[in-house]
Structures are given as C-alpha cells and as structure tokens.
Structure 1
C-alpha cells in the first residue's frame, strides 16, 4: 500500500473516531453504560475512576487492527486504521484527561478560540451530574457555549450540579432518626 493512502486512512480514521466517540458518549456512556461513566460526572476520589475502563475498551479495536496489519498478514490498511484509532485516543487523553480534567499537573492556559470553545463546552457537559439532560458529547467539535447554555436553560437545568458548598435536600440525614 502506498504511504499516501496510509496517511489518508490515518487522518480519516481520526475524523471518523470523533463521530464514533460522539455516538458512544451520547448513547452508550449516557445510556446502558452509565454504570461506568457515572463516576466521571462525580468528584474523583483517587487517581482512577470506573469510567477509565472505557479507555481499555476502546483500545481493543486499535490493538487488534495493529496486530493484524503488522503481524498477522491482514490488509495493510488495517495498520493505518488501528494507528488512527490510537491517534484519536492520544488526542482524547491529551485534551480530555490532561487539559480539561488536569489529571496530570500542568500550567497550560488556552489562548485560541477553538481550545477555549471545546474546553468550555466540555465543562458545560459536566455541569449535569445525571445520566440525562446534558449537552455537548463530542471532543474535537463542540457547539458554541451560548447555544449549550441556552439548551441547558431550555431543559430547566435538570440534574445540574449545585455550586460547591450548596446544601442539597438529598444530602440531609433522615429527620426521623
């Protein structure tokens, strides 16, 4: 396979993975996979959360395609596709875990309008602690924050996290004890 087709497959896969990530985030993680993803919408109590298992789940196709393309004699394009999935995973880790959630200490301050927009959109996604009612499921593309805020307001702010230090009725001990 010519390297130029491989490069096209690699970058095409990265773009395609944004769609896969959107679908997985919206209908799997905020659907039947909420039992893992819920940990990501709550304050983390250690270095890891159940949601981190999704990284392992999404690494499986990349690993299999790379193995098949490099070692098992499959179509060489599978190597480039597997590398594209891994590339998207690296971008996701850098953006989501390092920049937005600061799982590695850094002093990066976004300056570009693009980075400010996707970071703000992801933070708006996280103001909702529940399975339903949130906005902005993508990672490399996000609607304008104004549109996301308007959508949250339209939904009546259901599930929106209260400001830190605010008393929740659900936090109250039973008055009958």
Structure 2
C-alpha cells in the first residue's frame, strides 16, 4: 500500500486532482473540513465494494484486499489526521524517533504550497535522513 500511496499522492493528488488537494497545502478552507477530505470517500468506496464482493464470494482474496485497503485507510486517518495534523490533540509530546521522523517528513512535504516541487509523498515509510535526525537525539 505504501507504494500505491506514494504514486497516488504524487501523480493524482498533486496531478489532475490537485483542485481537491490544494486546500490541504494552502489551508484555504474554512471550518474543520477540507475539500481534501473527499479523498476519504474516493478511497473508501472501492474498499467497501471489495469487502462486499469478497463476502458474497465467501471471503475470498477480494475481501482481504478490501480489508487491507480499509486498515491502511484507518492507519492513515490516525497517523495523518490525528497525529501529524493534530485534529485531535494526541501524542503531542512524543519522543519516539519513528513518529517524530514521520511528522518531520510530512512538514517537509508541506513546505511546498504548489503542486510542483514536492517531496516525501509516502506515508508510513520515512526517508532515512529524517529517521537518523531523531535517532541522534536519543539518550
């Protein structure tokens, strides 16, 4: 899923669907929701269809693909929306090097307000340079 996420983020969200993703970078939306939040529906719809079709087919591989996409989506919500963007104030003072590296890489991604020139398009994979940065700080 991480590879698919990187490709979708770089070529779809920063590509032809930039109009939905832009407010996530320039913070132009008012209120608690962004147009970017529509990606939840865009990605949840095929996952639900896979889950349903997999149950009709007696829990074959299609169900488990839908389950994997759903679990990845839940991880994305908790890490991206709650931990990184602090839509809920949890883990605000963590010292975990991996979590700090994820947060730093995402901030690096958000340095770019336009759809071009971005970096760190992944989600759970942390570029080694960010991980090393926080490993040095461990006692």
Same fold (TM over 0.5): yes
- The one-character-per-residue Cα deviations of 1:86-128 (angstroms, maximum 9, x if unpaired) are 0000100000000011112335323221111111000110011
The CA RMSD over aligned residues, in Å, is 1.6
Specify the alignment match of 1:111 in structure 2: 95
The normalised TM-score by structure 2 is 0.86
Q: Comparing both chains, which one has the higher relative contact order based on Cα–Cα distances under 8 Å and sequence gaps of 6 or more?
A: 2
Q: Structure 1 segments of 4 or more deviating over 3 A?
A: none
Q: Distance in 1 between matches of 2:125 and 2:91?
A: 23
Greater helix percent: which structure? 2
Structure with max Cα Rg: 1
Counterpart position of 1:138? 122
Q: In the alignment, which residue of structure 1 is the partner of 2:107?
A: 123
Match of 1:51 among 36, 40, 53: 36
Aligned residue pair count: 129
Equivalent position SS for 2:41: helix
Aligned position for 2:137: none
Of 13, 24, 42, which residue of structure 1 is paired with 2:26?
42
Give 2:17's aligned residue: 33
* Structure 1 unmatched runs, 5+: 1-16, 147-177
